[in-house]
Amino acid sequence: MDENSAKNQILSLRHELNKHNYQYYVLNNPLISDFEFDKKMNELDRLEKEFPQFADSLSPTQRVGSDISKEFEQIPHLYPMLSLANTYSKEELLDFDKRIRKLIEGEFEYVAELKFDGTAIGLRYKNGKFEKAVTRGDGAMGDDVSANVKTIKSIPLVLQNSGFPDEFEIRGEILLPHSAFEAMNIERLENDEQAFANPRNAASGTLKMQNSGEVAKRKLDCFLYYLLSENLPHDGHFENLSLAKSWGFKISEHSKKLKSINEVFEFIDFWNDERKKLPFDIDGIVVKINSKRLQDELGFTSKTPRWATSYKFKAEQAETKLVSIDFQIGRTGAITPVANLQPVLLAGTTVKRASLHNADIINELDVRVGDFVYVEKGGEIIPKIVGVNLNKRNETLPKFEFIEICPSCNTPLVREDGEAQHYCPNSKNCAPQIKGKIEHFISRKAMNINAAEATVDLLFQNGLIRNVAGLYELKKEQLLILERFAEKSAQNLIESIEESKKVPFERVLFAMGIRFVGATVAKILAKSLKNIHAIMNANYEQLTQIEEIGERIAQSIIAFFNADENIEMLNKLIACGLQFEIEEASLSSNILDGKSIVISGTFEKYSREELKKLIETNGGKNASSVSKNTNFLLAGENMGPAKLEKVKKLGVPIISENEFLKMIGLL
């Protein structure tokens, strides 16, 4: 294919894929199958790699994000990004309506909108192309999160049709749909990470991640609700948003133009019930004056617009009796109190259990067995107790005392400074911890051994396994004498265990169950240190030099490999033939041997990933942050100001891309 044909094909595919993204993610009306879409995307990706002169940061292929860690730059808002005043009753809304009518003459229209429970964002466009995304921040300045926002497929990178201003900002809410939130929390719990409390926290935390490649995996969504420009097409807010939908933006179909405050009340009453059926969270209704002219006339207070307010729904609660409190023991020894309740209907489901989180929460609520408690379901994996009906309390109920010994092995519990949870330290002999570690080890994302939780319990109860290494010592003859095992099921388990020896190192590392080392961290560790011996022997400073490895993770890794029982188990697994190293890239030279190099900025001749690979294949080590151990900084355009300041402070040498290429013999 010649260059001109390639260019035309690339432009055509980009236009087509942008259209299909809009149909799928905004209109929820796909025109082609996922398979056909992927074929077109793969073809575009192939052409862009073959003809890099036509690269475009707004291409649909760029929505996967990057593994480049980037510090967020604070930039000023073009228009102040203020919060809304909140109201909690219809009386307060009536007061809002009366204030408006005193300030302006004649009739006007309201627009009522769903108040999405996510995190606010401002998107800037220039000549129909995405330019920048900025968080609320303090209302005057916000974080530039453009790289992360570009991964959200419901946000157009190139606008459709025409009629949009040359430059404008559109504001909205980034959120996580319920399905994506639940899947993410299940994965976090599998990785021994704390679950997000609600989709709002998850969306906010995701947007501030340093790795846009990870953001892309989390399936964020975005509804837009406010257009700002010096040249708006219409005076009506509702009309402007309707037009913005034709440009490719995801605008809620549930917004409504209303003529009176009574119609606003009807809208609120309707959505107070219907919100339970939505696939995402809302926490109220936003009420705005429709006319931009009247909005300008009403203006702002120092904190909020006078022409808009929000009505907040009350959180869904139910009252029921607390029957008892159980204590669950996790694979790390964490003790979690769980309330057993008289069954009660809440948000469409029957609730029998609720989280009490930890001892501090129990003390704060002063909850006692036999109390009538208020249960709330606000995005939690299981509902939570939020209060006690003291009017119904029997005064003879004793104050609840948190347990001091493990309910399984009778070991005294410990609670570290700064930790909310109590722990059982008896990791060697506490049955729930041992079984939990084995269940984690065999899970699909770890070793993928085909055995159910009941199977693990059966093997443990019969003394056939006492740790994960015991799996590799099992014989089919031992299984056949157990209940529930026949010839075929026994053979399948033995074969599945044998097959797991081929699982790559990063998954084996995740399977070992080191606290705070989830699947992503395990992959980073394996890639950075190459083999289990290097990880075992790494000190605190070496570990914290690795991207995404902070103080807490580093301390946990060191503590794990300082425990004799873990080293004993590891040696057995090594002897069994599991994968404990990754394949080394062949070295071009050892000219950078022992040198720690930090990359910052953008480059002309090579991408950052290509430069990182050149560092590795010439014997060097990529570091994510500048320290006294950094040998030099490889600097491009627009390097991070924080890195530059630290480099100057520590006296670390700075080299350019050309100087680096000369150093390794490519120039």
Comparing 31 with 565, which gets the higher pLDDT?
565
Residue 321 binned pLDDT confidence (cut-offs 50, 70, 90): very high
Q: 0.85 cut: is pTM over it?
A: no
Query: What DSSP string describes 318-330?
Result: EEEEEEEEEEEE-
Across 21-35, 297-311, 475-489, 594-608, the highest mean pLDDT is recorded for 475-489
Residue 133: pLDDT above 60? Answer: yes
Supply the pLDDT for residue 594: 82
CB 530 within 8 A of CB 606: no
Residue 70: pLDDT above 60? Answer: no
Supply the pLDDT for residue 376: 84
Comparing 559 with 590, which gets the higher pLDDT?
559
Domains identified in the chain and CATH numbers: 3-64 (1.10.287.610), 75-312 (3.30.470.30), 317-392 (2.40.50.140), 431-502 (1.10.150.20), 505-576 (1.10.150.20), 596-663 (3.40.50.10190)
- Residue written as token pair 């190459």: 530
- If phi > 0 it is left, if psi is from -120 to 50 it is alpha, else beta; for residue 78 that is alpha
Supply the pLDDT for residue 156: 95
Residue 64: pLDDT above 70? Answer: no
Q: What is the mean pLDDT of residues 406-412?
A: 96
Which of the residue ranges 282-291, 465-474, 658-667 would you say has the lowest mean pLDDT? 658-667
Residue 359: pLDDT above 50? Answer: yes
- Chain segment 513-529, per-residue pLDDT in tens: 998 898 878 988 998 89
Please give the radius of gyration of the chain, using alpha carbons only, rounded to the nearest integer. Answer: 29
Supply the pLDDT for residue 197: 67
CB 181 within 8 A of CB 201: no
Which of the residue ranges 2-6, 197-201, 571-575 would you say has the lowest mean pLDDT? 197-201
Q: What six digits make up the tokens of 140?
A: 């005057």
Supply the pLDDT for residue 301: 78
Q: How far apart are CA 90 and CA 591, in angstroms?
A: 73
Comparing 471 with 19, which gets the higher pLDDT?
471
Active site residues: 115
Sheet holding 86-87, edge to edge: 86-87, 308-312, 282-289, 110-116, 256-258
Q: How far apart are CA 280 and CA 379, in angstroms?
A: 10
Give the up-direction half-sphere exposure of residue 348: CA atoms within 13 A in the CB hemisphere: 7
Residue 69: pLDDT above 60? Answer: no
Residue 314: pLDDT above 80? Answer: no
For the chain, what is the mean pLDDT? 88
Q: What percent of the chain has pLDDT over 90?
A: 52
Across 201-210, 356-365, 433-442, the highest mean pLDDT is recorded for 433-442
Supply the pLDDT for residue 159: 94
CB 283 within 8 A of CB 175: no
Query: With b meaning 16 or more CB within 10 Å and e meaning fewer, what string describes 281-302?
Result: bbbbbbbbbbbbebbeebeeee
The CA-based angle 641-646-651, given to 5 degrees, is 125
CA distance readout (Å), 436 to 329, 332, 433, 568: 9, 8, 5, 19
Q: What is the mean pLDDT of residues 116-129?
A: 94
Give the residue from 287, 170, 286, 322 showing the smallest Cα distance to 232: 170
Q: What is the mean pLDDT of residues 319-335?
A: 93
Residue 559 binned pLDDT confidence (cut-offs 50, 70, 90): very high
